[in-house]
Amino acid sequence: MKKQNKREEILEDIQRIVIKVGTSTLTDENGQLDLQKMKKIVVEISNLQDKGFDVILVSSGAVGAGMGLLEIEERPKLLSEKQMLSAVGQVTLMQVYQTFFKKYDKLIGQLLLTKGEFSNRKRYLNVRNVCNAFLDKKIIPIINENDAIVSDELKVGDNDTMSALVSGLIDADLLIILSDIDGLYNKNPKKYEDANLIEVVGDINEDVKNMAGGKGSKFGTGGMITKIMAAEMATKIGTNLVIVNGDDPRNISRVVEKENIGTLFVRKNKKISSKKYWLAYGTNKKGEVVVDEGAEKALLSGKSLLPIGIKSVFETFDRGGVLEIKNSKNKVIANGISNYSSDEIELIKGQKSEDIEKILGHKYDDVVIHADNIVLIENV
């Protein structure tokens, strides 16, 4: 993981920036909103917009703000209590942001999202259009998960993941994650004095993932491992990601100015399309099919999935559902959009394509999943 290029080269032509701010950055040790730090973050974002950058803010802090307002010291375990705190705290959070941004003549817009906005293709494209409309009007979108109403089924889970999904949604050039640590270390710097900060990561392999351990603070939900997973997602869509310490909000500008701080995760040269990014990370899978070795080989070579290669089908889904495709060893090898329902696939599995119409009485396509609608897991 040696530094392969200068940051000036890696981060050239940056235009669209997502900034993720976590609860630990926005709140003090008692869980109260740190107004001075929030003001400094607003100054940084305002300055970036004045310089011509498009900036999107993914902000945690609603639950933490609610805890502070209600003087609750420990994050509750009951979902209903978390949702109540989020609803109370989100109002305060946005009020503070609006007050600060208004001082710098900036307009903001709030977007509260769930997994549903990323799972449903139409809703996904709608949110993408809304974000672009904000940016066209020089309005700063402030995005958070809609914790007040979201169920576990539709929960993204943490704003590190949310920020990576947003980066893919709006084709960001750079994602900056403000953390309570300087970046990724080769070992825990709180335990080991000889821990070294890793400046640049070009390949997120198992060694890199193993370096990320431990959970977040009592007020937050994330940890270094969620940031590494976010980096893995973001770099595959073509977004550079930097994890940097949020204690000094001026680090935002330092990253954009290409100073050598934090850990830079370098985007892939061959990015996947936004549609395949959505298939890989954004959507909820409706079911699964298991395929034989011949079909697996065909899929890995970029071909479509034929009914003859399907051994079994699980769960109930309609035509257009997104499926996990597993091999005979039960390993997920791809995701794809099905041309047929689960009931239809049950009838045509193991059969030749020319027999589909005879079996079903109709035929949508010769293939169950077209290659254009398949994303290989090993390629994302």
Task: Indicate which CATH number applies to the domain containing 169.
Answer: 3.40.1160.10
3-class state of residue 122 by DSSP = helix
Residue 54 has pLDDT above 80, yes or no: yes
Q: What's the mean pLDDT in 234-246?
A: 91
- My answer on whether 263 and 298 are in the same domain is no
- CA dist 154 and 196 (Å) reads 38
More confident residue, 140 or 226: 140
Confidence at 352, pLDDT banded by 50, 70, 90: very high
How much of the chain is in helix, strand and coil states, percent to nearest 5? 40, 20, 40
227 a known binding residue?
yes
Instruction: Report yes or no on whether pTM surpasses 0.85.
Output: no
Asked if residue 92 belongs to a known ligand binding site, the reply is no
Number of domains in the chain: 2
Residues 119 and 38 in one domain: yes
310 contacts 334 by C-beta, under 8 angstroms? no
Residue 145 pLDDT = 82
Whether the pLDDT of residue 214 is over 60: the answer is no
Residues 245-260 as b/e (b if ≥16 CB within 10 A, e otherwise) read: bbeebebbebbbebee
Q: How confident is the model at residue 173 (pLDDT cuts 50, 70, 90)?
A: very high
Q: Tens digits of per-residue pLDDT, 262-274?
A: 999 999 876 677 7
| 163 labeled binding residue | no
Residue 364 lies in a domain: yes
Last residue of a domain, one of 276, 311, 344: 276
In this structure, is residue 319 part of a structural domain? Answer: yes
Rounded Cα gap, residues 30 and 50, in angstroms: 34
Q: Which residue has the higher pLDDT, 60 or 217?
A: 60
What residue type is 273 in one-letter code? S
Q: Is 81 within the bounds of a domain?
A: yes
Q: Residue 3: what pLDDT?
A: 45
Q: Is 226 annotated as a binding residue?
A: yes
Cα torsion 237, 228, 34, 195 to 10°: value is -140
365 and 253 belong to one structural domain: no
Is 240 annotated to bind ligand? Answer: no
Same domain, 355 and 234: no
225 is in an annotated binding site: yes
**CATH number of the domain that residue 315 is part of:** 2.30.130.10
What average pLDDT is seen over the chain? 86
Q: Helices H, strands E: what count in the chain?
A: 15, 13
Q: State whether 232 and 102 are in the same domain.
A: yes
pLDDT band (50, 70, 90) for residue 149: low
Q: What angle do CA 152, 155, 156 make, to 5 degrees?
A: 145
Examine the domain organization and report whether 310 and 238 are in the same domain.
Answer: no
223 is annotated as contributing to ligand binding? yes
pLDDT at 218 over 70: no
Assigned token pair, 277: 């990014």
Task: Check whether residue 206 and residue 343 sit in a common domain.
Answer: no
Which one, of 315, 314, 321, 316, lies nearest residue 337 by Cα?
Answer: 321
Most confident of 82-96, 156-170, 191-205, 287-301: 287-301
Please tell me whether residues 266 and 289 are part of one structural domain.
Answer: no
Is 1 part of any domain?
A: no
Together in a domain, 311 and 240: no
pLDDT at 209 over 90: no
Residue 2 maps to a domain: no
The fraction of the chain above a pLDDT of 90, given in percent, is 47
Domain membership flag for residue 130: yes
- The Cβ of residue 36 has, within 10 Å, a number of other Cβ atoms equal to 10
Q: Are residues 315 and 335 in the same domain?
A: yes
What lies within 8 Å, CB to CB, of 343 at 6+ separation is 316
Residue 210 domain flag = yes
The SS3 assignment for 68 reads helix
pLDDT in tens, 111-139: 988 877 877 778 888 999 999 999 999 99
DSSP class per residue in 173-193:
SEEEEEESSSS-BSS-TTT-T
- Asked if residue 179 belongs to a known ligand binding site, the reply is yes
23 is in an annotated binding site: no
Could you tell me if residue 271 is inside a domain? yes
Q: 180 is in which domain, residue-wise?
A: 7-276
67 assigned ligand-binding residue: no
Domain boundary among 233, 255, 276: 276
- Do 39 and 96 share a structural domain? yes
Residue showing tokens 């050598």 = 260
**Closest C-alpha among 87, 82, 81, 149 to residue 113:** 149
Sheet with strand 240-245: strands edge to edge: 107-113, 139-145, 54-59, 16-21, 174-179, 240-245, 263-265, 200-201
**Annotated binding residue 221:** yes
Are 232 and 379 in contact by the 8 Å Cβ rule? The answer is no
| Position 64 confidence tier, pLDDT thresholds 50, 70, 90 | confident
Residues 92 and 23 in one domain: yes
Supply the pLDDT for residue 166.
92
Q: DSSP labels for 325-341?
A: EE-TTS-EEEEEE-SS-
Q: What pLDDT is stored for residue 192 in this prediction?
A: 79
Lowest mean pLDDT among 61-65, 236-240, 299-303: 61-65
User: 215 a known binding residue?
Assistant: no
Range with lowest mean pLDDT among 5-9, 38-42, 238-242, 351-355: 5-9
Which residue, 252, 276, 300, sits at the end of a domain? 276
233 is in an annotated binding site: no
